[in-house]
Amino acid sequence: MALTATVSKSAVRKGGMEGLWHVSVMLAVTDDGPGDGFTRTFSTSHKLGGDFDKAQARLAKQLQKAVQEYVDDEYYFNHAKFGTLVTNLENGLDLEVQHG
């Protein structure tokens, strides 16, 4: 699984408080393995004239968490034991059920 990430601007919206803005970015992750990857939008608030480094750090943490969750999900989804579980469930179904 080799992942590729693209981060792009999504939106900037004025918040309810004076000088507060909501900034959003979109993260698109592609996966050259069996997974489909994902696309999600992440937002944080930013005070006009404030330190963009803080907003960047908050967003970076959110993006990294999403990537880690994807990797973990793919690991378990593609694990052989999960495949065995599904096969056992399918093979264990009683399709000769009688009415009543």
In tens, the pLDDT along 78-98 reads 899 999 999 999 999 999 988
Q: 47 Cβ partners below 8 Å, 6+ apart?
A: 19, 20, 21
| Cα gap 10→23, rounded to integer Å | 8
pTM > 0.75: yes
Radius of gyration of the chain (CA): 21
- Confidence grade of residue 19 (pLDDT, cut at 50, 70, 90): confident
In tens, the pLDDT along 56-70 reads 999 999 999 999 999
Residue corresponding to tokens 């943490």: 61
**Is pLDDT larger for residue 61 or for residue 15?**
61
The pLDDT, as a whole number, for residue 100 is: 73
- In angstroms, the Cα distances linking 81 to 7, 25, 62, 68 are 34, 36, 30, 21
